Amino acid sequence: MFHIQTEISRHTEHEVVVVGLFDQGKGFSANVEEVNMLLNGQLQTLLEDGDVSTKKHAISKIRTLANETIKRFYFVGLGKKEACSTEVVREAFGALFQALKVAKLTEVTVLADSFISDKVDVLDVAHLLGQALPMSTYTYEGFKTKKNEQVDVEKVTIISAADKEEIGAALQVGEIYGLAVNSARTLVNTPSNKLTATDLANYAVELAKKYDIEYTIVEKEEMQELGMGALLAVNQGSTERPKMIVLKYQGKEEWTDVIGLVGKGITFDTGGYSLKQPPSMIGMKTDMGGAASVLGAMEIIAQTRPEQNVLAVIPSTDNMVSGHAFKPDDVITSLSGKTIEVLNTDAEGRLVLADGVTYAKQLGANYLVDVATLTGGVIVALGNHTTGAMTNNEALYEQVLEAAFEEDEDVWQLPIFDRDKERVRGSKIADLNNSPGREGHAVMGGAFIGEFAEDTPWVHLDIAGTSSTKSVSKLGPVGGTGVMVRTLATLVERFEK
C-alpha cells in the first residue's frame, strides 16, 4: 500500500502527483517550486487564472501533457499556512482520496513535505494521510444483493526528505487508527437483527484472538450469581441473552494503574414500557455506539501495544417490551448493591453502565472512561458535532480533553453539582432513581453513572449526537462515525497517572 521515496523518480511513470498548496501570495516553498519548474514555471499563472486553487480542501487537477513521467498533478488547497492544523490536513487528504475514488485512480504519489506548516510536521502529515485514506473512502452497503463496484487506491508513494523508517511508522499507525474507526462504523451501521449481544460478544472474541489479548464473556447465569441486577433488569423483556464483554490488554508487568473503558452495548432500544415514538425508534440500532468506540479503541491498542494496562468492559443487551420486561416503579438491585427505583425504562443505558462501571472496578480499573449514546438531552445542549463530558476528576478529564484535541474530536464539559447528585438520590423507596426528570437530562444521566464510579477517577462521554451522522463529510459517509475511537486510543497512548 505505502511506498516511501526521497524524490520523484525520473524513471518511473507517475499517474498522479499530489501537491499541497498554501495561500501565501507569490513564491513557493522549495518542494512546490520543483513542481512549478515541471510545469514550465506556469503555476503562479494557473493560480491567478483560477485553474488551481489554494482554498481550503479545494482539489485542482492539471494534466501535464508533455511530461514524460507525470501524467497529471492534483493540487490540494490548504488555506492560510499559519492557520493550517491537523484537522485541515486530515480533511484535505479526505477530499483528495474521495476525488481519486470518483476518478477511479488506484495509484498516487504524494509530496508530503508540501503539506508541512508551523503546526503540522511531516510525521503528522504521514499519520494523517494514513488515517484519512481508509476513513474517507469507507462505504457500508450492508446486505444489498447487488453491490456497487468499488475502485480503491491501492498504492500510495510518499515523497519526503524525512527518515524513511519514521515516515513508515507514522503511516502505519495512522492507517491502524483509520481502519479501527471504520470497524466501529460498521458495527454501528449493522442492523440489530444482525448484531445481537451474542454477535457483539463473538466480534469481541475474534478481535481478542486476532491480536492476542485476553477476553472473558460473562453469561446470564454468572451475572445472576454475581448480582448484576441492573443489566439483567434491562434484559428481562428480551429473547436474546445478555453479555458482559471483557477485553484485557496488559502492557505492564503488574496489573496496576489500569484504565477502564466502559462502552454501552444496547443493540436496540425500544424504550421498553416507556415506549419510544415510532420516528424516535428508527435508528436505535446505533445505541451500541459506545461499545463500538471501545472496541475500535481496543483494535488500535492491541496493535500499537502501548505500555499501559487497559480493561474494556461492555454490558450488552437489547431493551424490549414483553410480559417479562421491567416496568416503571420497579426497584432493582445493581451489582454494587445500590438499589434503583425505575422511573423510566427508556433510561436503560445508565442502568447497564452502572453494572459495567462496577464490574470494571471489581476487575481492577483505577481510572474509568465510559462512552455511551446516553441522552437526547446532550443533542439539545451541544448539537450533533460535540460530545458531552462529565467528570469527578479534573486531572483525568484534562487528559481526555488533550487526547480529543489531538484527534480533532470536539468535547465539551457539562457540570455535575451537588444538587444534581441529590436529584439522582431522590427516591423515597430506593437509594437512587434512574430518571429525575427532563430538566438537565444529560447531566442527570452522567450524575447517575457517577454514583457507581464513586471515588474512582471517572469521565463520562455522551456521544448520542456524535456517534452517527446524516451528512456526508470529507472523512466519511452518512451513518456511523466511529467517534471517540481515536481519542480513547490516544488517551491510552499518552496516559500519565
SS3 84: coil
- Dihedrals phi, psi of 140, to nearest 5 degrees: -130, 110
Cell of 477: 459517509
DSSP H or E run through 21: strand 14-21
Q: Is 118 annotated as a binding residue?
A: no
Which of 350, 361, 423, 486 is the catalytic position? Answer: 350
DSSP 3-state of 108:
strand
Check whether 199 is labelled as a binding-site residue.
no
Q: Which of 71, 220, 241, 276 is catalytic?
A: 276
Concerning whether 104 is annotated as a catalytic residue, the answer is no
Q: What are phi and psi of 333, to 5 degrees?
A: -115, 120
**219 labelled ligand-binding:** no
Using DSSP, state whether 321 is helix, strand or coil. Answer: coil
| Neighbour-count burial of 23, counting CB atoms closer than 10 A to its CB (0-12 exposed, 13-18 middle, 19+ buried) | middle
Q: What angle do CA 265, 266, 272 make, to 5 degrees?
A: 160
Concerning whether 350 is annotated as a catalytic residue, the answer is yes
- Tell me if 264 is assigned to a ligand binding site: yes
Question: In 322-467, where do the E strands start and end?
Answer: 331-333, 339-341, 365-372, 387-391, 411-413, 432-433, 458-462
Query: What percentage of the chain's residues is helix, strand, coil (to nearest 5)?
Result: 40, 20, 40
CA nearest neighbour of 106 among 171, 15, 43 = 15
Q: What is the rounded (10 degree) CA torsion for 38, 43, 45, 50?
A: 130
Which residues, 6+ apart, have CB-to-CB distance to 73 below 8 Å?
Answer: 16, 17, 18, 19, 35, 39, 61, 62, 64
Q: How far apart are CA 467 and CA 177, in angstroms?
A: 17
348 is in an annotated binding site: yes
Q: Residues forming the annotated binding site for Mn(2+)?
A: 264, 269, 287, 346, 348
Query: Annotated binding site: which residue ranges?
Result: 264, 269, 287, 346, 348
Q: Which positions are catalytic?
A: 276, 350
